[in-house]
Amino acid sequence: MTLTAYNNVSIPSFMYGTAWKKEATSKLVQSAVALGFKAIDTANQLIHYEEARVGEALLALGEKGTRRESLFLQTKFTPVNGQDHRTPYDASADLTTQVKQSFASSLTHLHTDYLDSYVLHGPYSRQGLGKEDREVWAAMEDFYESGKTKMIGISNVTAEQLRLLCEGAKHKPMAVQNRCFAVTGWDQEVRAICRAQGIIYQGFSLLTANGTVLADPAIRAIAKRLGAGIAQVVFRFAMQIGMLPLTGTTNPQHMKEDLQSESFELSPEEILHIETIAL
């Protein structure tokens, strides 16, 4: 299954996230792809991600016959406030140069000459968008226009910031990636904008951000009815409301279970219950 953005580029409907995997990153990415994941998320940000180890996995997979074009690779430009001293660009350079250097370094790490999706890790300002955000976005738009990335996206955005970006940009984002909390109706305001604009909404930390909600007896009852696990119910729920979920599992058995969630079907009543569970 795939989801298609307004520019007609499609993303596989489930994504494997590589944050916090450290030296296990390469082995886990290889397992994820061998088990069936077709989309991989990383970032050029050594605090949380090992992009070069994702690249090592891609080389190893390539040797076993996995073609680059069969995978969807997404990485991110992380502004200096999200980096430590290992910033993958000259932090004293102007922002356009920073994006160019970070992008080039991502291509080197990932052993590829194009990306499927390039994401701004987060706006510079907490509220609204500033001139830094617009300059970085313009640099990303250049990569999109040159065909070096098939999509551009933004992460950790509020509804207000997304609205502003859609209004002011030459190319509005094709993807949004946000932490998804049940208490906000699973980011309902941002998802509504995405739906209206043809932007693919990617939800992360669906499990870790919603611990207490997932202990709800009704969710357990749905899992029992389907003969599924709680994680499978949550991921399938996410897909049925039009979201592209990320899983961050480090366990190959859980990778298999997470992928199997595509085969379950929740009823409209069950979907409504989960969607409004914490409102």
Ligand X SMILES: NC(=O)c1ccc[n+]([C@@H]2O[C@H](COP(=O)([O-])OP(=O)(O)OC[C@H]3O[C@@H](n4cnc5c(N)ncnc54)[C@H](OP(=O)(O)O)[C@@H]3O)[C@@H](O)[C@H]2O)c1
Query: What is the contact surface with ligand X in residues (CB under 6 A)?
Result: 17-19, 41, 121, 155-156, 177, 204-208, 229, 231, 246-251, 254, 257-258
> Dihedral of the CA atoms 30, 7, 234, 51 (nearest 10)?
30
- State the residue number with the nearest CB to ligand X: 248
Helix, strand or coil, per DSSP, at residue 273: helix
Nearer to ligand X, 66 or 205 (CB): 205
- Rounded to a whole number of angstroms, the minimum distance from the CB of residue 149 to ligand X is 16
- Rounded to a whole number of angstroms, the minimum distance from the CB of residue 210 to ligand X is 8
- Rounded to a whole number of angstroms, the minimum distance from the CB of residue 65 to ligand X is 25
Nearer to ligand X, 21 or 172 (CB): 21
Nearer to ligand X, 39 or 129 (CB): 39
Nearer to ligand X, 95 or 123 (CB): 123
Nearer to ligand X, 101 or 178 (CB): 178
Contact partners, residue 4, CB within 8 Å, separation at least 6: 10, 11, 200
HSE (CB half, 13 Å, CA atoms) of 274?
Answer: 27
> In whole angstroms, what is the distance from residue 247 CA to residue 245 CA?
7
Indicate the length of the chain as a whole number: 279
Contact partners, residue 49, CB within 8 Å, separation at least 6: 18, 19, 25, 42, 43
> In whole angstroms, what is the distance from residue 104 CA to residue 146 CA?
14
- Rounded to a whole number of angstroms, the minimum distance from the CB of residue 138 to ligand X is 21
Nearer to ligand X, 29 or 145 (CB): 29
- Rounded to a whole number of angstroms, the minimum distance from the CB of residue 129 to ligand X is 17
- Rounded to a whole number of angstroms, the minimum distance from the CB of residue 150 to ligand X is 19
**Per-residue DSSP letters for 77-88?**
E--GGG--TT-S
Residue 115 is given by DSSP the state: B
Determine phi and psi for 141, rounding to 5 degrees.
Answer: -60, -35
